[in-house]
Amino acid sequence: MATAPEEAPGAPEDPRVSVVVASRNRRDELLVTLGRHRAPVVLVDNGSTDGTPAAVRAAHPHVDVVELPRNIGAAARTVGVRRARTPYVAFADDDSWWAPGSLRTAADALAQHRSVAVVNARVLVGPDERPDPFGDVLATSPLVADGPLPGPRVLGFMACAALVRRDAFLAVGGFDDVVRFPGEEERVAWDLTAAGCALAFVPEAVVHHHPSPRRHSPAARVRAVTRSALLSAALRLPWPDVRDRWRDAVVGGAAPGPDGMTAARRRGAVDALRDLPRALRQRRPLPPHVLADLALLSRADVPTAAPPDRRGGPGPRTRPSPPVTTGPTNRGEAA
């Protein structure tokens, strides 16, 4: 039977870890969840208009609040990572928190495996603690590791359930302001793998996610995820795969989805066009070993990011590949 989590004690669970939260207009949720983090917290506010910064400073004076003048999406998390001074940084959404002992478990995994840059925890959803199905995808990853890892090697992660090695994360640019949010994990996972780092799923570490009732509609979510997927492709994938992602978004691909979602994908493609010049200026195609991983996952029909009804990322499959799936969204909003 699920029990309500206790408030975090005064002492950090592990001195090697800080928690970074990015949020916008989720004041009420933050006032509850910020007290559950067992580590120093950096809150990066994405231009909230609901009085979030002042309310957090009053209720949680230990939290380092960074106020941004405008909404920069998931790039706000990168601002928080730069602000943090610990070697490892855990991400949390405004409606999620790490279970007791899990920050230390994830930190030990990084400390004991120097090649690992990201540990993805297991996610339990809601008061009844339903396992997020994306955990099963990560647990059965077919990717082979070059050496011992703390768990299966993966090529994707959920930001709210990730502990990152700070230096490695910043070395690949962190979450950027081209892709923004959601689906921001995809390009970072690719770049870390390209840099020789590993990503691992460690189910012994647990994150609780209690979805906020205030979130984007499914169509708005699909539109945003499509935009991110197309820009990620333009940034890193070979031209044939870029073409196929754009074609699937505009034409409908092999998975047209429920009524209204084809239109949402097309709107996402229009949105992506506005930032396409910036993406092309930063284009750096992935090296062969990452493309080989993507090809293996494609053959096994394994996505490397959760669908938009879970964590906002399409699986970076090679062709043919629908850019998104559809369903109700439940992820915390950084943007």
Reduced DSSP (H G I as helix, E B as strand, rest coil) percent helix, strand, coil of the chain, to 5? 40, 15, 45
In this structure, the answer to whether residues 178 and 260 fall within a common structural domain is: no
Q: Indicate the residue among 209, 235, 260 that finishes a domain.
A: 209
Give a yes or no: residue 330 inside a domain: no
H runs (alpha helix) in 237-334: 239-251, 261-281, 288-299
pLDDT at 219 over 80: yes
State the pLDDT confidence band at 131, using cuts at 50, 70 and 90: very high
Residue predicted with more confidence, 146 or 162: 162
Amino acid 124 reads: L
Cβ atoms of 216 and 224 closer than 8 Å: yes
Backbone angles phi, psi at 232, to 5 degrees: -60, -40
Report the sign of the C-alpha dihedral through residues 252, 278, 310, 195, in that order: positive
Q: Let me know whether 58 and 156 are in one domain.
A: yes
Number of domains in the chain: 2
Q: In 10 A of CB 124, how many CB atoms?
A: 21
CATH number at residue 184: 3.90.550.10
- Provide the residue range defining the domain that includes 30: 17-209
Model confidence at 160: pLDDT above 50: yes
- Together in a domain, 189 and 49: yes
Cβ-count burial 142-152 (b if 16+ within 10 Å, e if not): ebeeeeebbbb
Say how far apart CA 197 and CA 284 lie, in whole Å: 17
The 3-state DSSP class for residue 204 equals strand
Counting residues of the chain whose pLDDT is more than 70, the rounded percentage is 85
Of 167, 183, 209, which residue sits at a domain end? 209
Question: How far apart, in whole angstroms, are the C-alpha atoms of residue 81 and residue 17?
Answer: 11
Q: Are residues 288 and 156 in the same domain?
A: no
Pair (143, 227) in one structural domain: no
Per the domain annotation, does 35 fall within a domain?
yes
Residue 175 and residue 93 share a domain = yes
